[in-house]
Every structure is written in structure tokens, then in C-alpha cells.
């Protein structure tokens, strides 16, 4: 599952982005990867490990909701199921 969020363009600053996606590891666990920064520049990356896919999806949805509250908009979604 992958979600790309972005702030609206305002003034002379480039928009900010927040990219969330899930990766399965070789041992059956899941990682939630968060990447954020200004559009067109290198950003920061953070990984969180979860034992199950459901835990990772819950964390992804929580992160998405937090960023929406901060003014980001969902620009792109890709995955097996629609986000809750």
C-alpha cells in the first residue's frame, strides 16, 4: 500500500510532501516507511517495523490522518484496498 500526500502550493515556497508505504520483510514482518520534505529536494526517511500487516496498515492510516489534520491532501493512493 502506498499513499502520497502534499500541501497546497503557497507563495514562493515549494509544496511539502509526505509519502507513506508498506514493505514486507524477508521474515514475514512489515515495515511502514515514511518519507517527507519539500518537493524537489531530498527528504527524511523513517522506518517502523510491525509483526503483522494489520498493525502496519493501522499505523499507516493513523499517520495519514495525522498529516491530513496538518493540512496535507492525498494526491495518490495505490494498494489492495481503499483506505479507511
The pTM for the full model equals 0.87
The predicted structure's pLDDT at residue 74: 95
- Is 59 among the domain residues? yes
Other beta carbons within 10 angstroms of residue 18's beta carbon come to 23
Residue 84 lies in a domain: no
Instruction: Specify the CATH number for the domain of residue 10.
Output: 2.20.140.10
Count of domains forming the chain: 1
pLDDT value at residue 81: 63
* 25 lies in some domain: yes
Structural domain for 8, as ranges = 2-78
7-52 pLDDT, tens per residue? 988 888 889 999 999 999 998 899 999 999 999 888 999 999 999 9
The answer to whether residue 68 sits within a structural domain is yes
Q: With CA atoms as reference, report the closest residue to 6 among 84, 83, 77.
A: 77
The answer to the question of residue 83 being in a domain is no
Residue 58 Ramachandran class (φ > 0 left, ψ -120 to 50 alpha, else beta): alpha
* 9 falls within a domain: yes
pLDDT at 82 over 60: no
- Could you tell me if residue 39 is inside a domain? yes
Amino acid at each position: 500500500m502506498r499513499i502520497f500526500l502534499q500541501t497546497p502550493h503557497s507563495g514562493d515556497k515549494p509544496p511539502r510532501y509526505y509519502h507513506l508505504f508498506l514493505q514486507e520483510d524477508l521474515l514475514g514482518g512489515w515495515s511502514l516507511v515514511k518519507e517527507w520534505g519539500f518537493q524537489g529536494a531530498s527528504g527524511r526517511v523513517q522506518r517502523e517495523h510491525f509483526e503483522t500487516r494489520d498493525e502496519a496498515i493501522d499505523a499507516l492510516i493513523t499517520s495519514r490522518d495525522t498529516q491530513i489534520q496538518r493540512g496535507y491532501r492525498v494526491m495518490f493512493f495505490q494498494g489492495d484496498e481503499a483506505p479507511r
